[in-house]
Chains A and B, each alone.
Chain A
Amino acid sequence: MVDPIKVYPAKPSKVYFYGTCLVDMFYPDAGMAGIQLLEREGIEVIYPEDQTCCGQPAYTSGYHDEARAVAKAQLGLFPEDWPIVVPSGSCGGMMRKHYPALFKDTADDVKAAEIAGRIWELTDFLVNVCHIKLDDLGEPTTVAMHTSCSARREMGVAEVGPKLLGQLKNVNLVEQVRAEECCGFGGTFAIRHPEISGAMVSEKVDTLVDTGAKEFVTTDCGCLMNIDGYAEKNHKPVTGQHILSFLWERTNGDGGKRS
């Protein structure tokens, strides 16, 4: 659940960037966009080379020994006390909220709790720490937004995406019905319960199509892969993008070319 009180740090000169495995392998553009947005705010971005995965897939599947081994390999990557920003509510939630539970009763408990306290979802960080001001250079367009459940409920950033998109003068943000309902991804849930997950994503895509928007943006690559993959397979007239890619493309001044 959302932290009762979120205390934002002052804008730092450096941050660690934790890219997440889905961004690394499937959506590196979103990662590059996030890094460039931070750099444009005058922040030096440190990308620890040895990062792999936060451990969430094994954790939510119940394989906590395996999750802990992977998570432990991340604990040493952030030696300075700079904030750690993550372009994903889900991986952010894992590291911020679940690391303390995962490392409870182990020698790494203090370290895990210390790192958990420095984890920020990137859009939240851009708005509430960087106080970013966006200058929209794109063509007029209509978009819908899907906020991941972990971004919404674990990281408490449901208001942030619309705030960012609201700064873009040529972007008309439309809201789908049941915006807060899960898209049906849920990691291994989509594989374990394909019919239920399929029913959830089909309704999610229908609500997005019903808005009339041809594109949607989202905070999380898992949701993106799920919603976009369903829309593509079933020839639905809507495509998705990570919100960071969208923001960068519209504001970087090179005519919307991918970074």
Chain B
Amino acid sequence: MSETAQHSAHHIDVKEFHPRARAAIHNPQIRQNFRKAMDGLMTKRKSAFEGWDLETLRDLGANIRLRALANLPDLLEQLEQKLTENGITVHWATDGDEACEIVRDICLARNAKSVIKGKSMVSEEMELNHYLEEQGIEALESDLGEYIVQLADETPSHIIMPAIHKNTEEISQLLHDKTGTDLSHDVEYLTANARLQLREKFMNADVGVSGVNFAVAETGTLCLVENEGNGRMTTTVPPCHIAVTGIEKVVPNLEDVTALLALLTRSATGQHITTYFNMISGPRKADELDGPEEVHVVLVDNGRSTIYQDDELLDTLRCIRCGACMNHCPVYTRVGGHAYGTTYPGPIGAILMPHMVGLDEGRHLPTASSLCGACGEVCPVKIPIPDLLVRLRQESVDGDTVHPAKVAGHGAKRSTVEAMIWKGWSWMHARPGIYRLGTALGARFRKLQPGKIGGWTQYRTAPKLAAKTLHERMKERSQ
């Protein structure tokens, strides 16, 4: 942690998952918006993969990511060397605060007053907008969804579709209130107006900030996937372009990108290909007409190298940020992204964020799943998300002496009462005689069983013990 950057203007308390989830559950508009959006995305993904050997493609994707991660330190060195050869300045940041400072220093050196941004989840991790604001530098989001959440003074609720929690009515009202457009449900009209507003900003911005989808080590190429053209504008119109990326986004060569791109766009929005695919390999050359004068890359660690050191948790870093796990998560569908209070919501957020905020802060995240496995089933690079959720649950209660917990803040969720309950449960179930006696007694006195069992009977009747256990019936049968 560096000293200067204790900025947390919009810090949401991660610990407040329960009340936020409850509020979302009881908000019919949120429920309806997400259900509709997620149903649509699931259908689109399915049809986008029709005719493909999806399992083989997922294996390929997983293997590309695993190979890249296996050689991560070497690939990063190679990437730095190639980027530098291409005329791109490389910066390393250990955490979000340091990354913010690097961006600030670049802006100061250019006397920049305004920054236009393409979509970047890492910049959300860094809370870059608020940091720059504090420094007197305007930072405007140019992705339409990001622009909308910025106008609403909110954070993204999804990593691909940041404003998916809002419907047309809400967006129309917001644009009317903040930018003076007419109240209209005509999406074309609203989009055209937002585009006009953003165009002006693009032309006058001093610096463009973008994310990176894939950083190719062999060629020093930054790949950027987008649909709106704002990514292209951000990276070419302002005289200076800063790309911020997590260190795990590196892949060995361009060939790897083709398979990952095919998986990414289909998994994310059900598109065979996006409208734009930018490949940035350096600043404007002497004989070129456009492009930025300088290009910087900020390689952000922010907890990733710690995850990297654990054989199991390492799989988290395979993620290519498609959001398919969110789209298919029954919990995310019910509560929406904001309930999580984290930069990355949903299943991937539940396994990634504890490393960024610690398990003391993020201890509810791994429990916010029924372990249904839908996330693991759709993950294009086969991250075993349910297994990692169980691992983090174990970490959060320090529940394993054979494989001791390691993640920062481990044990924060352990309570004496809960630990005692599991100890008692374990004691009984590890002793067959006691178990048989206990269950037989339960069956005998089943009329006495409580009619209310905490959260269970809030929505359901209590389960009914049978008159005789299977053990008893089998015993009778053998006699």
Interface of A with B (CB < 8 Å)? Answer: 1, 19, 21, 23-29, 31-32, 35, 47, 49-53, 55, 57-70, 72-73, 98, 101, 104-106, 149-150, 152-154, 178, 180-182, 184-187, 189-202, 225-226, 229-230, 232-234
Contact = CB atoms under 8 A, between A and B. Distances in A.
Given A32-B470, A229-B461, A72 B373 contact: no
B299 to A, nearest CB: 32
24 contacts: A1-B377, A25-B465, A28-B468, A32-B473, A51-B432, A60-B371, A60-B390, A61-B393, A62-B390, A62-B394, A62-B395, A65-B426, A98-B390, A101-B387, A154-B373, A182-B370, A182-B374, A191-B456, A192-B455, A193-B455, A194-B454, A195-B22, A196-B331, A198-B25
A50 B460 contact: no
Nearest to B312: A101
A52 B430 CA distance: 7
B4 interface: no
Contacts of A21: 429, 439
Given A64-B400, A230-B460, A24 B370 contact: no
Contacts of A50: 432
B322 to A, nearest CB: 18
Contacts of B401: 65
Interface of B: 18, 21-22, 25-26, 31, 39, 330-331, 334-335, 366-374, 376-377, 382, 384, 387, 390, 393-397, 399-403, 413, 419, 422-423, 425-426, 428-432, 435-436, 439, 442-443, 453-466, 468-471, 473-475
A102 to B, nearest CB: 9
B470 A62 contact: no
A93 to B, nearest CB: 9
B138 to A, nearest CB: 39
Nearest to B42: A178
Given A1-B384, A70-B430, A153-B376, A64 B399 contact: yes
Nearest to A77: B432
A200 B330 contact: yes
Listed residue (B384, B443, B458) with the most chain A CB atoms within 10 angstroms of its CB: B458
A64 B372 contact: no
Contacts, number: 214
B426 A229 contact: no
A23 B469 CA distance: 8
A176 B470 CA distance: 32
B429 A70 contact: yes
B373 A153 contact: yes
Contacts of B413: 62
Given A1-B377, A25-B443, A199-B25, A58 B422 contact: yes
Please classify the interface of chain B as helix (H, G, I), strand (E, B), loop, or mixed, using the class held by over half of its residues: helix
Contact of B399 (A19, A57, A65, A73): A65
A125 to B, nearest CB: 18
B394 A180 contact: no
A69 B372 contact: no
B470 A23 contact: yes
A11 B274 CA distance: 51
Given A59-B390, A66-B422, A25 B466 contact: yes
Nearest to A152: B373
A190 B373 contact: no
Main secondary structure of the interface of A (DSSP, over half): helix
Of the candidates A51, A193, A199, the one having the most CB atoms from chain B within 10 angstroms of its own CB is: A193
A180 to B, nearest CB: 7
Contact of A1 (B25, B376, B400, B425): B376
A25 B422 contact: no
Contacts of B22: 195
A60 B394 CA distance: 8
Given A24-B439, A27-B466, A49 B471 contact: yes
B403 A189 contact: no
Contact of B402 (A62, A105, A198, A225): A105
Given A51-B432, A197-B370, A61 B397 contact: yes
A160 to B, nearest CB: 17
Given A193-B367, A194-B455, A63 B372 contact: no
Shortest Cβ-Cβ A-B pairs, 7 listed = A186-B370, A194-B455, A229-B460, A62-B393, A182-B372, A66-B426, A50-B432
B463 A193 contact: no
Contact of B377 (A60, A67, A70, A153): A153
B429 A189 contact: no
Given A189-B369, A195-B22, A200-B331, 8 more contacts: A28-B473, A67-B426, A73-B431, A105-B403, A189-B371, A199-B31, A201-B460, A229-B456
Contacts of B369: 186, 189
B257 to A, nearest CB: 26
Contacts of A32: 470, 473
A60 B393 contact: yes
A19 B472 CA distance: 12
Contact of A232 (B26, B436, B458, B461): B461
Given A66-B425, A232-B461, A24 B470 contact: yes
Contacts of B435: 52-53
B334 A66 contact: no
Q: Most A CB atoms within 10 A — which of B367, B402, B430, B432?
A: B430
B430 A73 contact: yes
Contacts of A64: 394, 399-400, 402-403
